[in-house]
C-alpha cells in the first residue's frame, strides 16, 4: 500500500494503454500523461488505505435485485440514431473498412 | 513406436435468449428488421444512459442453468469487457466474468450406446454485438439491431474426447434449450453458435496440450468436420516436431480447413472490471425454486416415457423428440385416443410426409382428429385402407373423419351376412378362377380379394372378408373332391 500520492507508471505501460485505446500519442505527451495518470492512480490508491472491515457494500442490500419488466421502450425518431454519427449511409453507420 | 494421442475438447456455446426485448433496454429482439430500427439511446451507447437488467432474461438463464443441473451463484456480477470493433457501440461488452450467474452443472451424452456425463463449468449472461456489413464500396456499414440482445454463454469442462462426443454434447444442449423455451436454436440466424477449444496429448498424460480455439462453425456437420480436422492438424504438427500456438482459428467450411485469425496480440487484454452501472445480481432462493418447479419435461425424460409408457421404439421416440412441437402434438393425440403406436405411425409417416413440423399447428388434421381417425379404425368402423382415403380428404377439406365417413358412406361393413353375400357373388361369377384355385393355384386368392374389395368400394371388413372367402373356397374345393 502506497502512502505517496504518486504512482510510478512505466512508460511502456502508458504506451500499452494507448495502443489498447487506439490512441496515437506524441512522446512528450506520453511523459505528461504518465505523470498525470500516476497522480490519479496514486490518489485512488490512498482510498485503499481505509479500514473498511465490517462496512457492508452499499450495492448489496441483501434483497433481490430489482429487474426491468418488459414493455418499456424509449424510441428514437426516424434518422435520429445516426444524426450525431461522423458518417452514415442511409440508416447504417458507416466506418472505415474493417476485415 | 508411435504415440497414441487423445483429444481434449471443450465447447463454448452462445444461445440467444427468447426474450421479446433486449438485455438492458426495451428494443425488440426479433431477427432482421430495417437497419438500425431496433435501437435506442441505451443499446447505441449514447452518453448518460443507464442499463436496467431485463427480468425475463434472468428467468431464461436460470431455466437453462437449472435444466443443466447448475448451481445458482448469488450475487453474480456483470463486468465490462473492453475491445474496439465498430459493431460494439460502447467500446465494451457487458458480460459476466469472475462471478457468473450459474456454475457446476452437467449434461449426459450418448455416443455408441455409452452414456457419459459432461461437466458444465459455467453459464454467464451477456449482450450480443451488432453486425458489420462489408459493402461493395469498400466501407463497412454497421447495423446495431442485434447489439444488446441477451445471450447466455454455456461453457463446458474440457471433458469431450472426440468430434462425435462434441457433436453429441452440442445436440443434447440444443435440444434442452429448445425444449425449455430458452432459445429457438436457429443456427442459421446465429441464435445458437458454438466455439470449440481443441488440444491433444499423449494418452495417459495428465497435463493438457496447448489449445486452439475454433470459430465460425455454423452447423453440427461443420462442428464435426472442424474438430476432426483440428485434432488431425494438432497431431500432425506435433508428430512433425512442431509446436501448436495458442490462437483463434476460423473454420472454412468450403475449403474444409481451419486458418489462423490475424492480429490477435492485444486481443487478450480485455481489461475486465465490474460494471459500475449495474448492481450485483441477487436472485432470491424462492425465485430459483419457482423456476425449478416450472421446468418442463426434458427430452431424455420424454424419450424414456415414450418407450416405457407408450411402448414406442427408441427410434420413434427420437423422431418425436426432434421438435418440441412434435411431442406436444403427439401427447395431445394420445390423450384423445391411447393407441400410441398407431398414432406415432400416422403422425410420422402419413402426416409428416405431407406437412412440415413448422406447419403442424395450422394443419386441419389436429391431434384430436387424427386420434378420432385411429379410434375409428380400432373399433372397425373403417378399414385402414379407407382411413388413408379419409385422411387425404381431412387434409384437403378440413372436415372431421366422421363428417367425411357420413357424407361419403364409407362406414366399414362388419355385417357377416352382407359380406358373405358379396363374397359368394364374386366366387359364383368367376368359375374359371375357382377352377384354378382348386387345381392348386392358391395365388388366385388375391384375385378374389381384389374383386370383392372393388365391388364393395373397400368398405368390407378385411378380416371378415378373408375368413369368409377362405371358408367358401374351401367348400368349393370340398364339393369337387
A96 interaction partners in chain B (CB closer than 8 Å): 139-140
Nearest CA in chain A to B87: A93
Interface test with A, best of B17, B26, B131 (most A CBs within 10 A): B26
* pLDDT recorded at residue A1: 42
The residue behind cell 462489408 is B134
Local structure of A36: helix, strand or coil? helix
Mean pLDDT of the residues in chain B? 91
Fold of the domain spanning B416-480: Arc Repressor Mutant, subunit A (1.10.10)
User: Tell me: the pLDDT tens digits for B56-96?
Assistant: 999 999 999 999 999 999 999 999 999 888 999 999 999 99
Interface test with A, best of B139, B149, B273, B285 (most A CBs within 10 A): B139
Query: Taking a contact as any Cβ pair under 8 Å apart, which residues of chain B between 248 and 267 contact chain A?
Result: 266
* pLDDT recorded at residue B211: 93
pLDDT at B22 over 90: yes
Does the CB of B316 have a partner CB in chain A at under 8 Å?
no
Helix (H) / strand (E) containing B327: helix B324-336
pLDDT at A61 over 70: no
Total length of chain B: 481
Query: Are the Cβ atoms of A71 and B41 closer than 8 angstroms?
Result: no
CA–CA distance, B282 with B286 (Å, rounded to integer): 12
Closest by Cβ to A65, choosing from B135, B138, B279: B279
Question: B104 to chain A, minimum CA–CA distance in Å?
Answer: 22
pLDDT at B481 over 60: no
Domain spans in chain A, listed from the N-terminal domain onward:
1-51
Does the CB of B32 have a partner CB in chain A at under 8 Å?
no
A93 interaction partners in chain B (CB closer than 8 Å): 36, 86, 141-142, 144
The answer to whether A64 touches B109, Cβ cutoff 8 Å, is no
Q: Cα A8 to the chain's mean position, in Å?
A: 21
The answer to whether B199 touches B212, Cβ cutoff 8 Å, is yes
* pLDDT recorded at residue B262: 61
| A1-51 placed in CATH 1.10.20 | yes
State the average pLDDT over residues B415-439: 86
The residue behind cell 425465485 is B287
Q: HSE, CB side, 13 Å, CA atoms: give it for residue B477.
A: 15
| Beta-carbon pairs below 8 A across chains A and B | 108
Query: Are the Cβ atoms of B52 and A68 closer than 8 angstroms?
Result: yes
Query: Taking a contact as any Cβ pair under 8 Å apart, which residues of chain B between 64 and 123 contact chain A?
Result: 75, 82, 84-86
Return the DSSP state at B348. Answer: I
* pLDDT recorded at residue A52: 86
* pLDDT recorded at residue A2: 42
User: Tell me: the pLDDT tens digits for B273-284?
Assistant: 999 999 899 999
Interface test with A, best of B129, B282, B290 (most A CBs within 10 A): B282
Domain spans in chain B, listed from the N-terminal domain onward:
5-287, 297-408, 416-480
* pLDDT recorded at residue A45: 87
User: Tell me: the pLDDT tens digits for B227-275?
Assistant: 999 999 999 999 999 999 888 999 999 999 999 886 555 556 888 999 9
Confidence of residue B304 (pLDDT cuts 50, 70, 90): very high
The answer to whether B56 touches B23, Cβ cutoff 8 Å, is no
Sequence-separated (6 or more) residues with CB below 8 Å from residue B206: none
* pLDDT recorded at residue B1: 55
Bridge-partner residues for B194, per DSSP?
A: B13, B217
Question: A2 to chain B, minimum CA–CA distance in Å?
Answer: 22
Highest mean pLDDT out of B135-149, B154-168, B300-314, B426-440: B154-168
* pLDDT recorded at residue B444: 87
Sequence-separated (6 or more) residues with CB below 8 Å from residue B366: B332
Confidence of residue A63 (pLDDT cuts 50, 70, 90): low
Amino acid at each position: 500500500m502506497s502512502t505517496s500520492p504518486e504512482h510510478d507508471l512505466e512508460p511502456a505501460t502508458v504506451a500499452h494503454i494507448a495502443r489498447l485505446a487506439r490512441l496515437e500519442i506524441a512522446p512528450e505527451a506520453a511523459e505528461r500523461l504518465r505523470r498525470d495518470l500516476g497522480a490519479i492512480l496514486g490518489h485512488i490508491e490512498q482510498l485503499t488505505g481505509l479500514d473498511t472491515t465490517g462496512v457492508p457494500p452499499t450495492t448489496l442490500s441483501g434483497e433481490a435485485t430489482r429487474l426491468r419488466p418488459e414493455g418499456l421502450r424509449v424510441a428514437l425518431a426516424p434518422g435520429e440514431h445516426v444524426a450525431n454519427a461522423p458518417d452514415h449511409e442511409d440508416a447504417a453507420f458507416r466506418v472505415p473498412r474493417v476485415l | 513406436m508411435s504415440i497414441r494421442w487423445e483429444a481434449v475438447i471443450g465447447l463454448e456455446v452462445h444461445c440467444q435468449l427468447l426474450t421479446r426485448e433486449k438485455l438492458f433496454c426495451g428494443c425488440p429482439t426479433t431477427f432482421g428488421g430495417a437497419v438500425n430500427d431496433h435501437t435506442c439511446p441505451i443499446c447505441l451507447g449514447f452518453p448518460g444512459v443507464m442499463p436496467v437488467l431485463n427480468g425475463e432474461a434472468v428467468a431464461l438463464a436460470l431455466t437453462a442453468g437449472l435444466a443443466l443441473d447448475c448451481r445458482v451463484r448469488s450475487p453474480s456480477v456483470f463486468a465490462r469487457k473492453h475491445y474496439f470493433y465498430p459493431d460494439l457501440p460502447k467500446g465494451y461488452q457487458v458480460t459476466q466474468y469472475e462471478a457468473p450467474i450459474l456454475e457446476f452443472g452437467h449434461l449426459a451424452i450418448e455416443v455408441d450406446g455409452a452414456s457419459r456425463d459432461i461437466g458444465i463449468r459455467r453459464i454467464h449472461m451477456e449482450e450480443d454485438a451488432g453486425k458489420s456489413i462489408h459493402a461493395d464500396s469498400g466501407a463497412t456499414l454497421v447495423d446495431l439491431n442485434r447489439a444488446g440482445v441477451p445471450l447466455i454463454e454455456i461453457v463446458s469442462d474440457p471433458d469431450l474426447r472426440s468430434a462425435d462426443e462434441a457433436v453429441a454434447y452440442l445436440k443434447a444442449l440444443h435440444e434442452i434449450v429448445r425444449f425449455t423455451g430458452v432459445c429457438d436454436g436457429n443456427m442459421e440466424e446465429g441464435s445458437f453458435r458454438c466455439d470449440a477449444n481443441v488440444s491433444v496429448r499423449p494418452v495417459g498424460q495428465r497435463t493438457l496440450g496447448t489449445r486452439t480455439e475454433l470459430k465460425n462453425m455454423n452447423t453440427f456437420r461443420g462442428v464435426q468436420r472442424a474438430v476432426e480436422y483440428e485434432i488431425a492438424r494438432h497431431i500432425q504438427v506435433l508428430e512433425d516436431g512442431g509446436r501448436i500456438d495458442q490462437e483463434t482459428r476460423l473454420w472454412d467450411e468450403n475449403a474444409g480447413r481451419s486458418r489462423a485469425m490475424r492480429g490477435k496480440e492485444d486481443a487478450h487484454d480485455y481489461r475486465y472490471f465490474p460494471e459500475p452501472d449495474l448492481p450485483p445480481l441477487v436472485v432470491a432462493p424462492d425465485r430459483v425454486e419457482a423456476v425449478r418447479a416450472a421446468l418442463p419435461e426434458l427430452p431424455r425424460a420424454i424419450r424414456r416415457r415414450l418407450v416405457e409408457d407408450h411402448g414406442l421404439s427408441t427410434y420413434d421416440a427420437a423422431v418425436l423428440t426432434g421438435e418440441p412441437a412434435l411431442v406436444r402434438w403427439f401427447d395431445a393425440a394420445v390423450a384423445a385416443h391411447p393407441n400410441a403406436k398407431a398414432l406415432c405411425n400416422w403422425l410420422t409417416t402419413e402426416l409428416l410426409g405431407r406437412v412440415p413440423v413448422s406447419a403442424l399447428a395450422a394443419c386441419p388434421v389436429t391431434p384430436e382428429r387424427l386420434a378420432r381417425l385411429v379410434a375409428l379404425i380400432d373399433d372397425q368402423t373403417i378399414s385402414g385402407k379407407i382411413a388413408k382415403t379419409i385422411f387425404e380428404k381431412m387434409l384437403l377439406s378440413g372436415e372431421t373423419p366422421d363428417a367425411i365417413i357420413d357424407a361419403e358412406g364409407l362406414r366399414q361393413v362388419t355385417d357377416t351376412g352382407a359380406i358373405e353375400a358379396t363374397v359368394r357373388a364374386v366366387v359364383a361369377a368367376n368359375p374359371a378362377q375357382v377352377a384354378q384355385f382348386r387345381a392348386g393355384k392358391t395365388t388366385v386368392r388375391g384375385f378374389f380379394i381384389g374383386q370383392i374389395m372393388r365391388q364393395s368400394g373397400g368398405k368390407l371388413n378385411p378380416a371378415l372378408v378373408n375368413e369368409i372367402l377362405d371358408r367358401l373356397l374351401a367348400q368349393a374345393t370340398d364339393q369337387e373332391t
